[in-house]
Amino acid sequence: MGLFDRHAGLLEAYRGVRTTGADPFQIRMERVLSPTEAIINGKKTLLVGTNNYFGLTFDPSCMDAAIEAIRAEGTGTTGSRIANGSYNEHVALEHEIAEFYGKKHCMVFTTGYQANLGVIPGLVGQGDFLFIDADSHASIYDACKMTQAEVIRFKHNDPASLEARLRRLDQKQEGDKPGNRLVVLEGIYSMLGDSAPLKEFVEVCKRYSAYVLIDEAHSLGALGEHGRGLCEAAGVLDDCHFVVGTFSKTLGAIGGYCVSDDPDFDILRVTVRSYMFTASSPPSIVASVRQALRTVKARPELRKQLWDNVATLYDGLAAQGFKLGPEHGPVVGVHLPDRETTIAFWRAMLDAGIYVNVATPPATPNGVSLLRCSLCAVHTRGQLEHMIEVMTGIGRQMGLLPPPKIRAAGGL
């Protein structure tokens, strides 16, 4: 049997994708011109499918900080944090992130994926219990496979579903030695852009003595009065025992972190394998991320610009009859009937000079297929209105939208 035979089913499905036109998984950015524009297939294309929420990848101060760091310290650390890869700047970044959240400790990882992979198994093991939202990110599901703790899923964003499972655990554990309970939530879910009812979740966790870990990958900068995310916006920052985040979205680079007030948190530095046995972030990334964090703090108007753009796109598409997610969010998911339609729509948009992401099962919850549009603070109103126009045209052509209302003359 060939090594790749077990992927035969996927290969078949994938062939189907390729025959419908361009392959969304093989797009090449020939040149990236700005946070919102790139050359794709030889044509200038509007980018509405990045996670560049504040557009900081081209912010001059962030770029200068990175360039400066390369000149001062070279292109890479070539070592792990527990060997030669901890520079002053890595430690300074950790202190600055901890201070940003008002927490005592912070651990920085080379990628956000590694942060989840490392922290979650570091916190729970044999005899413990892990509760995760059904729509959790792949990194959280993978982290679950790496621990001996019992893992139980609850319905997406449903505190009652979590409560039922915690209650069952309480009933079962009469007389047993109770293990620790850790509940993993996300601030903004990456597919539909909806947020967790965090206050209700935290109440349930308190009632059943469960620790809370919240992954704020998409919410840093976007939510909260100071951009600290959903835990700040919901007023429960003190009740979130662990906050995990990433540098690859609002902060415009790559990397991850976890903050906590737990006095023993630092022991994780000598037990978490995805921290110990991997190279640390290059100095340029540490520098640009530190500057991006300063920018998030110093320029709250970027948050307002982002949400103004969210409103423009969300409301504009809704008005034309597109089926969207439940609420405004930096990610606007447009539901389409099936995978083939979605890919055809995506291809039509690309041909018209607009790039968005495609998400289809099994990567999406509930078997939905969607176009995933993510907003940037530096998108212009004109760009988004043009996008709505193009999408409406394609939608009508494909018979997916109700026809435009015809206004009778004379008020008949």
Give the shortest CB-192-to-other proteins separation in angstroms: 15
Binding string to other proteins for residues 363 to 392, with x set by CB under 8 A, is what? --xxx-------------------------
Query: Which one of 147-155, 181-189, 204-212, 279-287 is the stretch in contact with other proteins (CB under 8 A)?
Result: 147-155
> Looking only at residues 107 through 146 of this chain, which bind other proteins when binding is defined by CB under 8 A?
134, 144
How many Å separate Cα 82 from the centre of its chain?
Answer: 28
- Which residue number, 151 or 292, has a Cβ lying nearer to other proteins? 151
Q: Name the segment binding other proteins (CB under 8 A); options: 58-66, 151-159, 336-344, 398-406.
A: 151-159
Interface pattern 347-366 for other proteins (x via CB under 8 A): --------------xx--xx
* Per-position x/- string for 170-189, each x denoting binding to other proteins as judged by CB under 8 A, each - no binding: -xx-----------------
- By the rule CB under 8 A, 151 interacts with other proteins: yes
78: left (phi over 0), alpha (psi -120 to 50) or beta: left
Q: Which of 161, 180, 278, 320 binds other proteins (CB under 8 A)?
A: 161
Instruction: Give the one residue of 39, 164, 388, 398 binding other proteins; rule: CB under 8 A.
Output: 164
Choices 69-77, 164-172, 200-208, 265-273 (CB under 8 A): range interacting with other proteins = 164-172
Q: Quick one: 136 or 250, whose CB is closer to other proteins?
A: 136
CB of 156 to other proteins, least distance (A): 10
Please state the closest distance from residue 268 (CB atom) to other proteins, in A: 23
Q: Does 152 bind other proteins (CB under 8 A)?
A: yes
Q: For other proteins, which stretch binds (CB under 8 A), given 48-56, 167-175, 276-284, 306-314?
A: 167-175
For residue 20, state whether it binds other proteins (rule: CB under 8 A): no
CB 361, min distance to other proteins, A: 7
Cβ at position 150, least distance to other proteins in Å: 4
Residue 220 interacts with other proteins (CB under 8 A)? no
258 bridge partner residues:
107, 244
Output the 3-class SS for the chain.
CCCCHHHHHHHHHHHHHHHCCCCHHHCCCCEEEECCEEEECCEEEEECCCCCCCCHHHCHHHHHHHHHHHHHHCCCCCCCCCCCCCCHHHHHHHHHHHHHHCCCEEEEECCHHHHHHHHHHHHCCCCCEEEEECCCCHHHHHHHHCCCCEEEEECCCCHHHHHHHHHHHHHHCCCCCCCCEEEEEECECCCCCCECCHHHHHHHHHHCCCEEEEECCCCCCCCCCCCCCHHHHCCCHHHCCEEEEECCCCCCCCCEEEEECCCCHHHHHHCCHHHHCCCCCCHHHHHHHHHHHHHHHHCCHHHHHHHHHHHHHHHHHHHCCCEECCCCCCEEEEEECCHHHHHHHHHHHHHCCEECEEECCCCCHHHCEEEEEECCCCCCHHHHHHHHHHHHHHHHHCCCCCCCCCCCHHHC
Please pick, from the candidates 150, 308, 340, 351, the single residue that binds other proteins as defined by CB under 8 A: 150
- How many residues at the interface with other proteins, by CB under 8 A? 20
Shortest approach of other proteins to residue 385 CB, angstroms? 36
**Distance (Å, rounded) from C-alpha 24 to C-alpha 40?**
12
Q: Write out the residues near other proteins by the rule CB under 8 A.
A: 134, 144, 150-155, 161, 164-165, 168-169, 171-172, 361-362, 365-367
